[in-house]
Structure 1
Amino acid sequence: MSEIRLYVSTTEKKAEQILDILSFCFGEEDFAVGTTEIDEKKDIWEASVYMMAEDEAEVHARIAEALSQEFPDAVIEREIIPDIDWIAKSLEGLKPVRAGRFLVHGSHDRDKVRSGDIAIEIDAGQAFGTGHHGTTAGCLETIERVLNGENPRNALDLGTGSGVLAIAVRKLRPMIPVLATDIDPVAVRVARENVRRNGIANGIALETAPGFHSPAFDRYGPFDLIIANILARPLIKMAPQLVNHLSSGGSVILSGILAEQRWKVISAYSGAGLGHVRTIWRNGWVTIHLRKQ
């Protein structure tokens, strides 16, 4: 089935404002949103939402409603995306990524693994998280730092994507059971394949779950370590629920957060009873480590 892009052409400033609205509207769902510069001299940008064709009518109506107050004159345009695995295509030439002792690589770069590396093999797939994005790399660095100083009994990877962060926990601490969840069943399928590819026969439970709406969280929790590499808005929204599933003295690693959004996220979790431990920066993104008081 074809993928559809619905977009609004506007200026850079308005595109960023529209992106904020679209991120709030679709941030917890399986729809990608983003902005693209079209013409630098003319200041033409596009704010877009991507979806499968079957969802187009519903998404179009929701975009129109979401923009109706601040951008009543916005024209929603449409593009059919060719059925090409752009993720696989774009990752063909990507080099291995180092984050602390972790080395995230594709199958074509197994010869790059050195003695002492904690190697994680992630080939191109239909899920976010290959180590090349600043948020994933930041999480890997923070996972190593946290596990070097703490001894969690279990862990949760919320919004697992490719499964790379859950795999990292098990590679570093093979005895820690991990629950890895994602709203997208495709991501869960990809993560399961990556878990198998990395030789982890057991210890990672994979579940399709929107937010915390699954019996799995009560079955496996509370958690000594929670990792959530999502987006700032949903992270802020789910702060009370996330903290409720965290053990006393447990740690949280949050990412998917732009540098300028960090104080809003820290404030939300401080208000829910967590203390800020450390923030690290990677390519304009931050990863935040907090601990339950």
Structure 2
Amino acid sequence: MPTFTAFTTLSDKSRAEALGEALEGVTPEPTGVGVFEIEDGSGTWEVGAYFIEAPDEIALALLAAVHQAAEFVVSELPEVDWVAKVRRELSPVRAGRFYVYGSHDADTVPDDVEPLLIEAAMAFGTGHHGTTKGCLEAFDALLEEGTAFQNVADIGCGTAVLAMAAARVFPETVLASDIDQVAVEVAEANVAANGLVGRVHCVEAAGFDHPDLSGRAPFDLIFANILKGPLIDLAPHMAANSAEGGYLILSGLLVDQADEVIEAYAQSGYNLVRRAEIVEWATLTLIKAT
């Protein structure tokens, strides 16, 4: 079955959201519509739609004009078995003591690692992305220094790979949360596949807005591999839910966004412990001042 995409950009959030809503009413109908801010500091918003029939390019042009957006770029995607493609192209990743792999690579798992199984169909957040690998390496660095944690949370957990890494090395139950229920279900499936049911507890929540999270605070380690904007917004909430002397491992950041995040967290009482970069992505390790 062919798939068509249509993408445009504009510089105003409200107009982008209005265009996204209007796209849902075009004929043929899109199977999905997305509106998000491009994380490059430009203030640009991207609006996209996916179709299983060729979209009406005249209707798209009219919508772009009405909402003062750039002309839609329409493309037809080739038919691809994406799971098979991911299996071919995503090799296992070692990040310190952690080894992230798919079931098709189960025979490659070394004896001296903490294994983390993530299926190819759930590939985002597997460790192949520089931000996830950076977080795992930052966590491993703290472990190498002899740091131990009893109360850990993974905010914006995605596949829950970071929460599972913590559960692999500490006996206490780790809390994992995501704002998206589908992500929570993916996290729960991964937890089960790794034999960690009861060791990682997954909840749907925005930030710390869940009784299971507020009831467990303060945390002595919090992972948050999300985006610059949400990280900055969460800074005071992190401080409210973090123990004195507690650590944060933050990523989802482009290298040139890291200083702004460091400053936001300094204002909330955190000091930078370590900054690492993998290609264009930065990972920050912070500690809350005592």
TM-score by length of 2: 0.76
Larger radius of gyration: 2
SS of the counterpart of 1:192?
helix
SS of the counterpart of 1:120?
strand
Work out the CA distance in 2 between the residues paired with 1:292 and 1:101: 25
Q: Describe the shift of the 1:103–1:171 C-alpha distance in structure 2 as closer, same or farther (beyond 3 A).
A: same
TM-superposed CA distance for 1:91, in Å, is 1.5
Percent identical among aligned pairs is: 39
TM-superposed CA distance for 1:212, in Å, is 2.5
Partner residue, 1:92: 87
Q: Describe the shift of the 1:6–1:169 C-alpha distance in structure 2 as closer, same or farther (beyond 3 A).
A: same
Work out the CA distance in 2 between the residues paired with 1:132 and 1:168: 15
Work out the CA distance in 2 between the residues paired with 1:185 and 1:80: 30
Contact 1:5 1:49 in 2 (8 A): no
Q: Describe the shift of the 1:32–1:178 C-alpha distance in structure 2 as closer, same or farther (beyond 3 A).
A: farther
TM-superposed CA distance for 1:176, in Å, is 2.6
Give yes or no for the alignment of 1:150 onto 2:150: no
Work out the CA distance in 2 between the residues paired with 1:83 and 1:179: 38
What does 1:18-57 align with in structure 2 at a 5 Å threshold?
A: 31=34, 33=36, 48-50=46-48
Q: Describe the shift of the 1:121–1:252 C-alpha distance in structure 2 as closer, same or farther (beyond 3 A).
A: same
SS of the counterpart of 1:196?
helix
Partner residue, 1:229: 225
**2:284 aligns with one of 264, 284, 288:** 288
Question: Which residue identity does 1:136 align to in structure 2?
Answer: T
Q: Describe the shift of the 1:157–1:50 C-alpha distance in structure 2 as closer, same or farther (beyond 3 A).
A: farther
What does 1:269-280 align with in structure 2 at a 5 Å threshold?
A: 269-280=265-276
Alignment RMSD (CA, Å)? 3.5
Partner residue, 1:39: none
Contact 2:6 2:48 in 1 (8 A): yes
Work out the CA distance in 2 between the residues paired with 1:218 and 1:109: 38
Question: Which residue identity does 1:157 align to in structure 2?
Answer: D
Give yes or no for the alignment of 1:170 onto 2:181: no
TM-superposed CA distance for 1:213, in Å, is 2.2
Structure 1 stretch displaced more, 259-268 or 106-115: 106-115
1:22-77 deviation digits (Å, cap 9, x = unpaired) = 7xxx9xxx957588xxxxxxxxxx97445688xxxxxx9xx98xx97xxx453456
Work out the CA distance in 2 between the residues paired with 1:275 and 1:76: 44
TM-superposed CA distance for 1:100, in Å, is 0.8
Work out the CA distance in 1 between the residues paired with 2:185 and 2:102: 18
SS of the counterpart of 1:125?
helix
Partner residue, 1:8: 8
Partner residue, 2:29: none
TM-superposed CA distance for 1:89, in Å, is 4.1
Question: Which residue identity does 1:162 align to in structure 2?
Answer: T
Partner residue, 1:215: 211
SS of the counterpart of 2:192?
helix
Aligned residues: 255
Question: Which residue identity does 1:168 align to in structure 2?
Answer: A
Partner residue, 2:102: 106
Work out the CA distance in 2 between the residues paired with 1:156 and 1:266: 20
Work out the CA distance in 2 between the residues paired with 1:215 and 1:4: 42
SS of the counterpart of 1:251?
strand
Contact 1:127 1:187 in 2 (8 A): no
Contact 1:127 1:186 in 2 (8 A): no
Gaps of 5+ in 2: 21-32, 39-43, 52-59
Q: Describe the shift of the 1:212–1:31 C-alpha distance in structure 2 as closer, same or farther (beyond 3 A).
A: farther
Contact 1:243 1:272 in 2 (8 A): yes
TM-superposed CA distance for 1:80, in Å, is 8.7
Question: Which residue identity does 2:87 align to in structure 1?
Answer: E
Contact 1:259 1:285 in 2 (8 A): yes
Work out the CA distance in 1 between the residues paired with 2:119 and 2:257: 30
